[in-house]
Structure 1
């Protein structure tokens, strides 16, 4: 299936590794030009070179998502360098659990305000793209933890806030041909990631988590990326305001 992404301009935050890296690479595989950011400059540089090797225009910059002015400056510069923004993906996360004020603040600054600021900076470009082609997209990476609560952790609560935010954006910007959707992964495994580290340090707990999933495994970053890229594509032009769960049925709730 041709997703209609060739020549599109895409910006992805938190894209030097894991899910974000896979999202950026899959967009590039579809022929889209891509700009990325993350905190580690060496990892950003390596990711940009890998993207360029796919034959597309790619640019990246080390950016602290919690630094509001820096994040907005990155998105604006990305739009200028790429020549527009058709798709903005807010993927970066503080990835912290807990109930301390520091944990709540980190999740708010990176996950929630990171998404809000990314959209605000990208909005002029997205409006222009929507007017020109009839379709522009804003995507957020959340989590199944948004609706699975066993304690009062900041992680799930802030991810839930993102789903609510996206629905509001979808309704508010539909007339301008800007769609807003969320992808909520379950457990995702890659070396050096959260569950990669759990496997190395707490193998028994890792095995318990594997057994919880009816599929008998965790997702790969590429599988989450595939959902994100499809939702961002013109093939999904009438899909907006949804939360797509990609979890292998590990969650038990029914989504109506």
Structure 2
């Protein structure tokens, strides 16, 4: 099925590794142009080179998304580079799990406010698009209480609320907004790979909760994002798409 993304321009934060990298690869595979950012310049350059060598139209930039001014500048530069913006994917998380004011501040500034800054900067460009879509990557930790309650879970829940409000407010302008909430996602160098190496008890406990007997892959979450970004999903807005292999058992009514 043609997802009608060819020629569209997407912005993706945290686009060099894990879910973010898989989202970038999923979008460019459908013919989209992608501006992505991440914090580490070397990782950005390596990802950009690999993607360009594969024939994709991408632009990578090193950005600290906790800096609102830097996020806004990146959005504007990307819009100028590609001639507009059609899709915004806010993917970066501080992954600040545990007690303490520092974790609360990091979760607020990175998980929530980077999304707000990105969306607000992109809105004038999205309003000119005929297929505008906003997607925030949340987490099942925002849907139920688990080991990541506290700052991480609270801000992930706030993202879903924020996106739901955007969907309602922006519907008259033809701009859709959705959240994607993955469960445990495993990839080399990722959070669960690190937990596996350093806290085997927690890893085994988390793995045991998965009824599929495995954790998810970045590509499985990326598929949900790319599908929601597609103009074919024109009637889907204001939803929180859970991608967890039936890990969570709450009923969404």
Give the TM-score range, shorter chain.
Answer: over 0.9
Q: Helix, strand or coil for the counterpart of 1:158?
A: helix
**Unpaired runs of at least 5, structure 2:** none
The size of the alignment, in residue pairs, is: 252
Scaled by the length of structure 1, the TM-score of the pair is 0.96
**Deviation digits for residues 69-96 of structure 1, max 9, x if unmatched?**
0011001111110111110100011011
Residue in 2 that maps onto 1:216? 213
Counterpart secondary structure, 2:133? strand
CA distance in 1, matches of 2:150, 2:128: 39
Kept in 2: contact 1:57–1:82 (CA 8 A): no
Q: Superposed, which structure 2 residues align to 1:45-194 within 5 Å? A: 45-129=45-129, 133=130, 135-150=131-146, 152-194=149-191
- TM-score w.r.t. length of structure 2: 0.97
Q: Secondary structure at the match of 1:97?
A: coil
1:206: how far off? 1.6
- TM-superposed deviation, 1:255: 1.1
The DSSP-based 3-state class of the residue aligned with 1:128 is coil
Deviation at 1:66, TM superposition (A): 0.3
Moved over 6 A (4+): none
In the TM superposition, residue 174 of structure 1 has moved relative to its aligned partner by 0.7
- The 2-side partners of 1:150 and 1:173 are apart by 32
What is the CA-CA distance between 1:16 and the residue it aligns to?
1.0
Tell me if 1:31 matches 2:31.
yes
- Mapped to 2, the partners of 1:226 and 1:54 lie a distance apart of 20
Secondary structure at 2:128 match in 1: helix
Distance 1:120 1:53 in 2: 32
Cα shift readout 1:204-223 (whole Å, capped 9, x = no counterpart): 33222111110000000000
Q: CA, structure 1 residues 93+150, in 2 after alignment: closer, same or farther (shift >3 Å)?
A: closer
